[in-house]
Structure 1
Amino acid sequence: AGFRLLGGVYVAIPPTDGGRLPSEQLGLELGIHEDQLRWFTESGELIPLPEEAECQRAEQEHQRAEQAEQQLQQVQEQQQALLEKLRSLSPAQRQALGLDGPQ
């Protein structure tokens, strides 16, 4: 149980529906997560520890890098397909498209 000092008297802080103790001063709630005392937002979201936040950041960066690599591969494949298509054009088609200088 938690207590708050009001007018020189300690008054019990009732737990939230989730069983956590709210802190009006911090706008957070104190509760148990995996046998550890942890902070939660008022909406019940667990606030990550610094090492957890770093791990999440690293995972997000890894996912962004994978996405960028996939996009690069797609662009390279499209570029290769276009080059092959251009190479298959006849000289007259290339000239009509303005790809070859005047002959």
Structure 2
Amino acid sequence: MFVTAQQLEKQMPDATRLLSDEPEMETSLHYMQLLLLVTCLEWLWRDHNDFFIGANLTIYFSRQQLRNRDFRGPDFFLVKDTEKHPRSSWVVWEEDGRYPDLIIELLSESTADVDRNLKKSLYENRFHTPEYFWFSPENLEFVGFELVGNKYQEIVPDRRGWCWSEVLGLYLGVENGKLRYFTFDGELVPTPEEAAMEAQQAAIEAQQIAIEMQQTAIEAQQQVSQTELRLEEEQQRSQRLAEHLRSLGVDPDSLN
């Protein structure tokens, strides 16, 4: 039975003291992948203040969950159209009954079965999360689902193996062993460091172009100067010749 946010709030008067209770990421591969997902999206939406990203953060949604200490926090989740501020956990009844709009689980040997089955069922039937993806940083298994009606249907990847996310307005796909975001046009969404390097490289290239243009201008000016010098030399030769002809009693104009 669905429990309203108001009912949950009455059940849990101490909700504000609920802290996240998730285990550490299993490997450095998982940690780096999670960091990549967070930082890239934060950078892309750096001018927005209407979303929240949870990274290995507990979602509290019912008294039974607390009684059983069955927290089931996703590795990565996104809630759109909400206030962007730090949270120690996501407490559904304190967030107007909002559940994640998108969840990504990072598979590991110990969690893969739970992620593919129990969590998938939870996100489908209780959270009604519109999109659910899982990815293994170890063997690169990547699958996406979208909620159609009340059931998850697998998202058919394109020829590149990428899955389109309506929630993100981006593709998710594997690139160099990492799950990355891509724009509709296929451009990789960079990390802040990659963006800084790209900007630096663009600045270097722009500077090189400016130097080349300046060098071209200098060479053109040199050519103009050389042409002017040749014309001046020819004019001087003509003047000397005319003076020589006059010294011989010959009018140079009469020769034209």
Q: Would the TM-score normalized by the shorter structure come out above 0.5?
A: yes
1:21 maps to what in 2? 163
Name the structure 1 match of 2:214.
Answer: 72
RMSD: 2.7
Note the residue ranges of structure 1 that are not aligned, 5 or more in a row: 94-103
Pair 1:47 & 2:189 matched: yes
Structure 2 counterpart of 1:5 = 147
| Structure 1 residue 39 displacement after superposition | 0.9
Separation of aligned partners in 2, 1:85 and 1:77: 12
Identity %: 35
SS of residue matched to 1:48: coil
1:56 to 193, 198, 212: 198
Residues 41 and 81 of structure 1, relative CA distance in 2, 3 Å threshold? closer
Displacement, 1:21?
1.8
Structure having the higher Rg: 2
The alpha carbon displacement at 1:32 in A equals 0.8
Structure 1 residues 86, 10: closer, same or farther in 2, change over 3 A? closer
Runs of 4+ displaced beyond 6 Å: none
The residue type equivalent to 1:55 in the other structure is: M
> Counterpart amino acid of 2:189?
I
| Alignment size in residue pairs | 93
| Residue number among 31, 34, 58 corresponding to 2:173 in the alignment | 31
Cross-structure match for 2:60: none
Gaps of 5+ in 2: 1-142, 240-256
**Superposition TM-score, scaled by structure 1 size:** 0.65
Query: How high is the TM-score relative to the length of structure 2?
Result: 0.31
Distance 2:225 2:158 in 1: 65
SS in 2 for 1:44: coil
Q: 1:23 to 1:79 in 2, by over 3 A?
A: same
